[in-house]
Structure 1
Amino acid sequence: MLPESTALHLRRTLAVALLFATVSLSCLVLFRDVDSSRFLPQFSSAYSLYGFSSIFPLVGNDSTAANNEYPLEKVLKDAAMEDKTVILTTLNEAWATPNSVIDLFLESFRTGEHTSRFLNHLVIIALDQKAFARCQVIHIYCFFLISEGSDFHEEAYFMSPVYLKMMWRRIDFLRSVLEMGYNFVFTDADIMWFRDPFPRFYADADFQIACDYFKGNPDDLANIPNGGFNFAKSSNRSIEFYKFWYSSREKYPGFHDQDVLNFIKDHPFIRNLGLKMKFLDTASFGGLCEPSKDLNEVCTMHANCCFGMDTKINDLRVMLEDWKHYLALPPNLKRLSVVSWRVPQKCSLKALQRHGSPETSVQSG
C-alpha cells in the first residue's frame, strides 16, 4: 500500500492532468467554432451545433442519431423558396473530397449570373457519413440519407451495381419529397449552374427533364432524357408517376433510372395519369453529349457522356474557365458569341459506351 503522501501526490497529479485535458479540449472546440464562423458567417447556431455532433460521432452519437437529430422536414422547410421549391443534389465521399466535384459545383453557383442566391435553397443529400461531415463544413443545408444494407461512399462507376442502387435510391427519395408537398429541381453535382434556369422552365409541366439529345420539340417523346437534371412539381400526378417509375425497375432489371424512363415515358399508365411531361432544350440545358452552342443562352452544363471522376473533374474545370473567360468579355463581343466550349477534352462518349447499359444504351452518368 502506498504512503499517504505519495497517494496524495498521485491524486493531485491526476487532477492536474485531467484539468489540462479538459481545458485543451474546450480550447479546441472554441477554436473550431470561431474558425468556422469566420468562414461561414451565414450558418445559424443550430446548424453549427449539429455539424459538431456529426463530425465527432464517437461522443454519444452514431449515423442514425445524426440523421434523426435534424429531420428532413425541417431542412426542406428552411431551404424552400416561397412556393415550396427546393434544389436538391446528392453527394457521396468520392465526390466530396476537397477540390473535387462538389467544390466545382458550388463554385459555379457563385460565378454564374444571378445564381448565388440559389445556394440558400440548395439541400445536399449525403449518402454516407464522410460526405455528410464534409457538407457540414461547406454548406448550410445538409441531410444524411441512410440506405440500409448499401455503402455509397466510393466512386460509383457508370452502370456498376453500386451505381444502379444509388440511382434507384435517389428516385425513391425524390418521390418522398414530392409526398411532403415540396417541388424540387434535382441536379447532379457534376452540373455547372451558369444562369437562373427558372425562366426557361415550362409553367404548365408537372415534370420536365434535361436531355442527352434534344430533337427540337419539348413534347417529343423521342427525346433522350437525362435523369441528372429535372424539375418536378408536387401533385398527385407527379407522386404516382415517381411511384410507377420506381416500381418499373423490377420489370427492367439491370437498367438505370433514365433508361427505364425511356422505356415507360409513353406507357398508358402515364398517359392516363394526365401527367404533363416536357423535355428541356440542350441550347439552355446542355451537356458534353450535346453542348449548348451559345454561351449567351446556356443555363446549365452537365459532364454527361463521361466515364470516371478524374475525367469529369478535368472537363468541369475547363467549363468553369470557359465561362469566366466569357464573363470577362465586353458586351459587344459576348453578343457575337465569339467564345465556345473547349469541352469535351478528357471525357468521351466512346469510353462511356464501353461501360454502358446491358444493351446499346448511350445514357450518361
Structure 2
Amino acid sequence: MINDKVQAIILAAGKSTRFNTDSSKLVERICGKEMIVHTTSLLKKMHIPTTLVVGHKKELVEAAVKKHHPKGHFNFVHQTEQLGTGHALQCTKQAWTKEHILVMNGDTPLLSEDLLQRLIDKHVGTDAAMSFLVAHNVDPSIQGYGLVVNQNNQIKIIEEEHLEEEHDDLYNLNGGLYLLKRTFLEKYIDSLPRDKQSGEVYLTTLAEIASDNGLTISIVDAPFDEVRGVNTQRELWVAEQIKRSQIIDYWMKQGVRFSAAQNVHLDETVTIGNGTYIGNGVQLFGKTTIGKKCSICAFNILNNAKLGDNCLVRPHTIIKESAIGDNCMINSFTYIHEGSIIQNNCAVGSFNEICGEIISQNTKTSKKNERTFVAAFKTCADRSFSDTI
C-alpha cells in the first residue's frame, strides 16, 4: 500500500501568541475534540505513523493526544527553542524511517482524507522531490499565508511578511502541507539558512532549493476551507462553524431533520437515528446517542445521554450521562442528572429533577410538594410525537 511508504511530522510547538490565552490553541475543542486530535485521528485512520514536534505547553498537547490514542501510535520530539518550521523539522531527523516525509501543521482540523490521499498519490506517482497544497482565496481579510510563486519556471514560497511587491500569484496561498522525499530532505535540511529579519529557519525554503536544482515539484489544488489554519479566536469560531456544518450535513443525509441547523451544536461523536427531529438551539455533547423517530425540542441540552426510539423531549430540558428507554416523554424544564435510568414507556412531568434514580417502565413522574414521586402510567407508545413546539 502506498501509505506504507509515508510517515508524518506534525508541527505543534508554536506559542499560540495570537490566541491571547495562557494555554495552547491546539487543545481548544472543535465539536468536542481537541484541535490537534482532529489531525492525529486523520493520520491514524490512514495508518500513517506520526511524530509530533512539541514545545510551548507540550504537556497539554501530549496529554490530549495520549488520551485519545493511548496505544502509542504517536511519538513526541521536544523543540526547546521555537526557531521556525525548518528548525522544527531538523529536530526530527532521528525519527525518519520511511521513504517519504509528510510535514503538516497541527492547526488544520478541517483537512479531509480525500485531499491528503490525493497529495500522497500525486507525489509518489510523479516521483517528486517535494509536493504541497495550494489554495485559492480572494478574500483580502485572510492573512497569515505565504504565496506560492512561479516565475520563469522557478517555484518558491514567499512568507507573508516578506512580500515586497504585488504578484500575479496573489491568490495562490500556501496550504501548509508538504510531502518530501526523504533522500531530498537528508541532503538539504541542514543547509536551510536563517532568515535575516526573524532569525528563524523556514521549511518553505526547500521549495526554492528543489526548483533551483531542477527537481520535480508537484502541486495539488485544495479547497481553502480544508487548509484553513487557526491562529485567532475568530478563526477558531470559523473552523468550528465549518466542522459543525459538515457534521449536520452528514446527519441530514441519514434522515435527520434540523429545524434551525445554524443554531444547533453537536459534537462529532454524537449519533442520531433516522426520522428524528432536532429543534432550535439544541446542544448535543459527547457520546450522546439518540434513537429513531425522536423529537428533541428547542433549547435542550444532552450530554453523554442515551435515548431510545420514539422519544419526545420537550423544551428547556437537560439530560446528563443518563439512559432513557423507548417511547418516553420528558416534559419541559426537567433536569436528569448523572446515573439516572428511565425505562421504556415512561413520562416525566415538567419542572422535575431526577438525581441518579431508576424509573421503572410504564410509570409517570410529576412534581408534588417539591419532591419527585412515581405513579402508575399507561404506556405512551401510542402517543403522537409530531408536536415539536
User: Structure 1 or 2: larger strand share?
Assistant: 2
User: Structure 1 or 2: larger helix share?
Assistant: 1
RCO comparison, higher one (Cα < 8 Å, 6+): 1
Q: Which has the larger radius of gyration?
A: 2
